[in-house]
Amino acid sequence: MFDILKELIFSSGAVSLTGGNLVMWLVSFVLLYLAIKKQYEPLLLLPIAFGILIVNLPLTFLMEPEHGLIWFFYHYGIEMDIIPPLIFLGLGAMIDFGPLIANPKTMLLGAGAQAGLYVTFFAAVLFGFDLQEAGSIAIIGGADGPTTIYLTSKLAPHLLGATAVSAYAYMALVPIIQPPMMKLLTSEHERKIVMTKLRPVSRLQKICFPIVTGMTIMLVVPPAAPLISMLMLGNLFKESGVVERLTNASANELMNIVTIFLGLSIGATMTATTFLNPKVLFIFFLGLFAFVISTAAGLLMAKFMNLFLKNKINPLIGAAGVSAVPMAARCVHKVGSEANRRNYLLMHAMGPNVAGVIGTVVAAAILLKNLG
């Protein structure tokens, strides 16, 4: 009887618990709190937090290669790069390129805001990360979750949990991180600028955009193809207006389904041994640095463009060049309306915002081409 009890205790996970596991439980509980109570990106944070919790229960072997349940999700979904492009399919089916088509010069803002990526890349190399790791960290500046995951899983899979969580964290923290930067780099007078109305965009233009832009980008930077092709296909579904069921399936059901597997798998990469490492804390710091530089670069780019433009743009929309859609555009709108309550920048900010998504993918493809 005593032997059976002893056997039960020693085969239980509890005796194999490490201090690291307990710390990771704490991380998981904090993230659960942020997701449930504060509603910070709960759709992602909740499965991520739960993933962290269950892989830090010893002897469950959920991430055991070839055996564990979540390992299969991770292997087929992320290691084989299936989920991030599917998320982009749904994103394409949701976003409206209209403001970008109406005001194509905002593409420059989406490109300008990627400067933070390159600055951070060199900073990370200086701090002793290898080139592949540095690329994965730099892409956090784009504040685009799926692209960050896509790139990290190819370049530095051991950093996946840290880069993914920081990309999503900074997306959620846009309303806290961006406004001080915006106020610092623009004058009250500039924030008050009311922009001229966007011209109407025809259906034909909206249909041609994903086809022409998609082809151009894939011809110039072929490694961008998996993400860009899916993004443009989703957008073509939406703009064609003839496949509403496919549009809805991409934007809702499919997106929700893959989000579950994405979140759980990302969380499950964060075992105590991989995550509790001084490097990881540093990744959060460098990621924040990347995001701040990207925001500043977008703002300065907009101010620079104003030197040449007759119809001035409101430089705040430059901050939306990071690709956190639509958080960054919302944030621009809010700061703009604080300066001038009749300033409705939302749609103007969506132009650089969707351009930022494209810009981040192109930047990731360039990093992949040179480092992969």
Partner 1 sequence: MPELLAPIAGNVWKILVAVGDKVELDDELVILEALKMETPIYCDDAGTVTEIKVKEGDAVNEDDVLIVID
Q: Please say whether the beta carbons of 276 and 20 come within 8 A.
A: yes
Q: Is residue 189 part of the contact set for partner 1 (CB under 8 A)?
A: no
Our CB check for partner 1 shows the closer of 154 and 330 to be 330
CB of 337 to partner 1, least distance (A): 7
Measure CA 25 to chain center: 25
Task: Point out which span in 41-49, 219-227, 285-293, 342-350 binds partner 1 (CB under 8 A).
Answer: 342-350
Chain centroid to Cα 196, Å, comes to 30
341 binds partner 1, rule: CB under 8 A: yes
40 is an interface residue for partner 1 by CB under 8 A: no
Q: How far is the CB of 85 from partner 1 (least distance, A)?
A: 24
72 touches partner 1 by CB under 8 A: no
192 in contact with partner 1 (CB under 8 A): no
Nearer to partner 1, 133 or 144 (CB): 144
Based on the shown chain and the rule CB under 8 A, indicate whether residue 238 belongs to the binding site for partner 1: no
Question: Per CB under 8 A, does 344 bind partner 1?
Answer: yes
334 contacts partner 1 (rule: CB under 8 A): yes
Q: How many CB atoms lie within 10 A of CB 32?
A: 18
Nearest-approach distance from CB 206 to partner 1, in angstroms: 15
189 vs 341, beta carbon nearer partner 1: 341
Q: Looking at this protein, which amino acid is placed at residue 164?
A: A
From 46-54, 81-89, 166-174, 340-348, give the range in contact with partner 1 by CB under 8 A.
340-348
149 near partner 1 (CB under 8 A):
no
Binder among 161, 330, 355, 362 for partner 1 (CB under 8 A): 330
Query: Can residue 342 be called a binding residue for partner 1 (CB under 8 A)?
Result: yes
Query: Which part of the chain contacts partner 1 (CB under 8 A), choosing from 23-31, 32-40, 220-228, 323-331?
Result: 323-331
* Distance in Å, CB of 262 to partner 1, minimum: 21
Check binding of 346 to partner 1 (CB under 8 A).
yes
Whose Cβ is closer to partner 1: residue 89's or residue 347's? Answer: 347
Nearer to partner 1, 43 or 69 (CB): 43
Neighbouring residues of 20: CB distance < 8 A, sequence distance ≥ 6: 56, 272, 273, 276
Contact call for residue 337 and partner 1 (CB under 8 A):
yes
Among 102, 329, 354, 364, binds partner 1 (CB under 8 A): 329
Binding residue for partner 1, selected from 298, 326, 351, 359, defined by CB under 8 A:
326
> Shortest distance, CB of residue 50 to partner 1, whole angstroms?
25
**With binding defined as CB under 8 A, does residue 182 bind partner 1?**
no
The C-alpha atoms of residue 19 and residue 49 are separated, in whole angstroms, by: 18
Question: Which residues are at the interface with partner 1 (CB under 8 A)?
Answer: 197, 326, 329-330, 333-334, 337, 341-342, 344, 346-347
